[in-house]
Amino acid sequence: MTSLFASYRRGSLRLPNRVVMAPMSRVRATVDGLPTASMATYYAQRATAGLIVSEGVYPSLQGKSNPGGPGLHTDAQVVAWRPVTDAVHANGGRIFAQLMHAGRVGHPDVAGYQPVGPSAVAMRAEVFTGAEGLQPAPVPRALELAEIPGEAKVYADAARRAIDAGFDGVELHGANGYLISQFLSTGANQRTDAYGGSITGRIRFAVEAAAATADAIGADRVGIRLSPGGTVWDTVEEEVPELYGALFTELARLDLAYVHVLAGAAEDLLVALRKTWPNTFILNPGGQIAPTPTDRADGEHWLAQGADLIGYGRAYLANPDLVERLRTGLPLRESDKDTWYQGGDTGYLDYPSHQY
């Protein structure tokens, strides 16, 4: 059986092991979306991962979700990301930037803009706005038909900046109720034009965003994260096998580097999707929000089901040396949930590696 610790090579992906650090919001950037020296240390500490996928990075101010989130839409942000990518590379790692357009998962108090979405349908949820705390999600402004290609191009523009900032590639966040996911959702997407209604219409935005990004930086440096059947941020999806079967078929034509799938759907559907995908398949066993961190057994199970790489999220928070802990059977530390989003270095940089 394939080992988590075996090297992996396909196209431009040349990884020393099959452990992927999944994207996780940590909201440690400046108010202007600039990465900090602490962020460089945080990612460098975890550079033994086969691949790091960064926290969600907003590709435009319109697409910003979290206070304290980093961006990739200004020259200053590009410059500020370079010490982060340099630090990861200096420690022997590889890092992709996750491009996360929030769509309706936002608030004017955070971005200064009314959130946009495929339709004017508000989430049944509260969003964090910083000093004002949690507030009900506002009704987004429905994108005009003529605007939608421009929102797809936003990912491509940010991807060019990511490469300039030293990232090895980008991952489009098409999961967990953010903009791409909203177009897939029958709850958030009530359009009757070419971007809604039928399965063909609902997958169109995802395919156009991926195609534009692949054209911008090369398909072998572009991945996409998806959550078949997911429910995060009030996501409602129908005809899930047919929807994702059609989406995988169209994305496969683009020859992307990988798909990164969250295990929220039935295992047989995920295995079937794996069989239709010709390139690298990353499986995150934690699904939407796992009650406990994914362990070695979870990873080995999904490798046996055909996954190429395994995404670990929460386990990486308190275990910067996760690969070695999994390899040697060392216990995994639990992170302090109260520090996940509080800012500062406590609960961020102060989890040491195991000392022999």
Please state the domain count of the chain: 1
The amino acid sitting at 208 is: E
Euclidean distance between CA atoms 44 and 51, whole angstroms: 12
* Residue 325 belongs to some domain of the structure: yes
List of residues 6+ apart from 251 with CB closer than 8 A: 206, 207, 210, 224, 259
Among 12, 37, 356, CA closest to 214:
12
Euclidean distance between CA atoms 55 and 287, whole angstroms: 17
* Residue 356 belongs to some domain of the structure: no
Q: What is the pLDDT of residue 290?
A: 56
* Residue 41 belongs to some domain of the structure: yes
Euclidean distance between CA atoms 216 and 153, whole angstroms: 9
* Residue 2 belongs to some domain of the structure: no
* Residue 348 belongs to some domain of the structure: no
Euclidean distance between CA atoms 236 and 258, whole angstroms: 24
List of residues 6+ apart from 266 with CB closer than 8 A: 229
Options 8, 58, 155, 178, the catalytic residue:
178
* Residue 347 belongs to some domain of the structure: no
φ, ψ dihedrals at 219, nearest 5°: -60, -30
Take residue 333 and report the two structure tokens written for it: 């530390």
* Residue 109 belongs to some domain of the structure: yes
Q: What is 115-126 written as a DSSP string?
A: -EESSS---SSE
Take residue 12 and report the two structure tokens written for it: 């431009």
Angle between helices 148-164 and 199-217 (to 10 degrees): 30
Largest Cα–Cα distance in the chain? 61
**Which parts of the chain register pLDDT below 70?**
288-292, 355-356
Q: What is the pLDDT of residue 133?
A: 87
Tell me the residue range of the domain where 91 lies. 8-339
Query: Is 178 annotated in the active site?
Result: yes
- 25, 56 in Cβ contact below 8 A? yes
* Residue 354 belongs to some domain of the structure: no
How far, in Å, are 57, 76, 95, 160 from residue 81 at the CA level?
11, 9, 11, 13
Identify the residue whose tokens are 């090895």: 168
CATH of the domain at 229: 3.20.20.70
